[in-house]
Amino acid sequence: SFGYYVKIMFLTPYFSNTNHQFQFTREQASHFAKRVAGDYNPIHDEDNKRFCVPGDLLFAVLLSKEGVSQKMRFNFSGMVNDGVA
């Protein structure tokens, strides 16, 4: 549907997709945190040694790829760094 493509186009600058796997650079994740989510937590700064990808971005990309269902369960069990597929 058109809405699906709008969502994907909106998120495209914030992740890369290769072989049915997605990943993030520090720059992509940091820009999403600050410009889209308004999340200025220092852990999302590109130069932070404890950097992690914002959960909002992980969740948004996952939903755009898998869609929404009446019953969904997500377990984020750790922090995702840049370059992790």
Q: Which residue has the higher pLDDT, 29 or 7?
A: 29
For 22-78, write each residue's pLDDT tens digit: 999 999 999 999 999 999 999 999 999 999 999 999 988 988 888 888 898 888 788
Q: Please tell me the total number of residues recorded for the chain in this structure.
A: 85
Res 6 pLDDT > 60: no
Per-residue pLDDT at 2 exceeds 50: no
Per-residue pLDDT at 7 exceeds 80: no
d(C-alpha 70, C-alpha 14), whole Å: 27
Task: Give the C-alpha separation, 19 to 78, whole Å.
Answer: 23
Three-class SS state of 13: helix
